[in-house]
Amino acid sequence: MAGIMFARVKRRGNSFVLTVPADVFRGRGVRDGDVVEVELRRKVPPPEELGGTVKF
């Protein structure tokens, strides 16, 4: 069962981290130590989601 989830990338030392809530894994039967496939695509949010002001 495939699904789409958006997550903010965070830096941890020399790596990048994506945190996935445990219930997302449980709902798909994924357990600790399982191998999963991840497809990454950068999402560019529309200006109204960025907040702040737009300068021209």
Amino acid 20: pLDDT: 86
Amino acid 34: pLDDT: 94
Q: Which residues contact 52 (CB under 8 A, 6 or more apart)?
A: none
Picking from 50, 56, 30, 54, the residue whose alpha carbon sits closest to that of residue 20 is: 30
Q: Which residues contact 20 (CB under 8 A, 6 or more apart)?
A: 5, 7
Note down pLDDT in tens along the chain; length 56 residues.
567 888 888 999 999 998 888 888 888 899 999 999 988 888 887 777 766 665 65
